[in-house]
Amino acid sequence: MTIECKRAYDDINKNDGYRVLVDRVWPRGIKKEALELDDWIKDLAPSTELRKWFGHDPKRWQTFCKRYRKELEEQQETLKALVKNAGKKRITLIYSAKDCEHNNAIVLKAVLEEL
């Protein structure tokens, strides 16, 4: 299973495969039809409380990863459904954060790869 992470503001590519928005909030300034998503799975996004606490502060990254992984433990069925729905296609996790190294899609990708 191939999984990629991509900003919502990046160009869409035919090789993206199964495109899934993994943020709880819709990306600012983008029309819904412009993202060309296969799914939007809010349940796989960090809780509002965790997202606000993290604030994309790299100093909080390690703690964020641990807390987010704990939240994802309760979403096993949703994780498995995502993989099943993608079939043999590449999964592209779409996120809106500016920081490409410290965001929820990175953690979610690692969790999916461990399934």
- Encode the chain (115 residues) as per-residue pLDDT tens digits: 899 999 999 999 999 999 999 999 999 999 999 999 999 999 999 999 999 999 999 999 999 999 999 999 999 999 999 999 999 999 999 999 999 999 999 999 999 999 9
pTM of the model: 0.96
103 Cβ contact list (under 8 Å, min separation 6): 5, 56, 95, 97
CA distances from 94 to 48, 59, 63, 99 (A): 18, 23, 22, 13
